[in-house]
Amino acid sequence: MGHAYQETRGGGRARAEAAKYTTFIRAAGGGATLSGGETLLQPVFAGELLHRRKHELGLHTALDTSGYLGARATDALLRDADLVLLDIESCDPATYT
Q: Which residues pair with 53 in a beta bridge?
A: none
Q: Which residues pair with 86 in a beta bridge?
A: 65
CATH of domain 3-96: 3.20.20.70
Whole-angstrom distance, CA of residue 2 vs CA of residue 84: 23
pLDDT in tens, the chain (97 residues): 343 334 445 567 777 888 889 999 989 999 999 998 889 999 999 999 999 999 999 999 999 998 888 889 999 999 999 999 998 877 887 876 6
- For residue 2, what are the contacts with CB-CB under 8 A and spacing of at least 6? 44, 48
Whole-angstrom distance, CA of residue 45 vs CA of residue 39: 9
Q: What residue ranges do the domains of the chain occupy?
A: 3-96
Provide the pLDDT for residue 96. Answer: 67
